Amino acid sequence: MSVLAAIAVLAVLIIVHELGHFLAARWQGIHVNRFSIGFGPILLKYQGAETEYAVRAFPLGGFVGFPDDDPDSTIPEDDPNLLRNRPLLDRAIVISAGVIANLIFAYLVLVLQIGSTGVPEGFNTEPGIEIPQVVSVESPAARAGLQAGDVILSIDGQSLGEGEDAIWAFKHAVENNPERELSLSVRRPTQENGTQEYQNLSLSVIPEIGADGNGRIGVQLAPHGDPVYRRPNGIGEVVALAAERFQSIFVTTLQGFYRLITQFSETAGQLAGPVGIVAQGADAAQRDAVNLLVFAAVVSINLAIINILPLPALDGGQLAFLLVEGLRGKPVPVHIQDGVMQSGLLFLLGLGIFLIVRDTTQLEWVQQLTR
């Protein structure tokens, strides 16, 4: 069920993104002839008065189609409501609306999450530290068998204690022992017949040497325990706290993309495809609904930032063409746009297939089958 929940979240985010394009076009009276979730052969479709609504076989995205690109369209080429015949600003609004929709949706999800769970007011700490995320399938932590949700109780036979002190003790041990095997005592939550159980494990990890010369294993760390919430003091506090959390996630995501670009050889392993994202979402859903809502907000912001990058076949690539058109006073020739977009699409499809294969081979049940 947790995997289905994660897939449902991704489907909703895709629909939100494409609805942004669709509604921005309809709001301006621009013709839209297709609204599709997924790519490839059509599984289900409904023909509206002007638009065909469809669900397709490969749920790796979606698209909004315009008659401008349809050779069978009966709309005259000089129709002022064709997308290509509208002013630059109108087209820019349509192209950027998907990104804006994802950002608005992420903020509203955070409002819902805070409004339903309450305002964090403290933490009931327990012994050990929790691993919210293993940042890369190629990291020392992943190779050692650590998973998101694991609780590390001791390192090299030394109990970690609890709270922030436990985190600092663990970081100190890892950073000061690069390329040396460290034994970990780990407690892993499991689901047995619908009830929460725990499995005690003994794992070994060898920290790699980071750019600063210190050891690192590639995990996020958090205190182990349960947060304490209080009822919000009105909707104003919920809105303000959601804005702070949204800003934090947005800035952290931008920093992550900056590191990916400037330190690609070190951070490329952190890229995740659809399989990896679903696996992370399933882990979040397995813990509780609050984590699933945060997962939805984080992925929605990531989707917005990725799409606004000036890369071919993405919204940012189309906006880049509009910018060039505005500077030179006429559109970039169609054959150049088509060539760049098709090359970009092939690259993204190839990258997507690579990430799917890589992430699938890293799934625990696949690794067990191949042992």
Q: What contacts 254, CB < 8 A, 6 or more positions away? A: 305
Q: How far is CA 357 from the centre of its chain?
A: 18
Record the tokens describing residue 322, joined without a space: 């509009």
Burial class (CB in 10 A: 0-12, 13-18, 19+), 71: exposed
Q: State the helix-helix crossing angle for 289-308 and 315-328, rounded to 10 degrees.
A: 30
Burial class (CB in 10 A: 0-12, 13-18, 19+), 248: exposed
Record the tokens describing residue 28, joined without a space: 């301006």
Judge contact between 305 and 254, C-beta under 8 A.
yes
DSSP, res 162: B
18 labelled catalytic: yes
Coil, strand or helix at 222: strand
Q: Which of 18, 126, 175, 208 is catalytic?
A: 18
Q: Which positions are catalytic?
A: 18
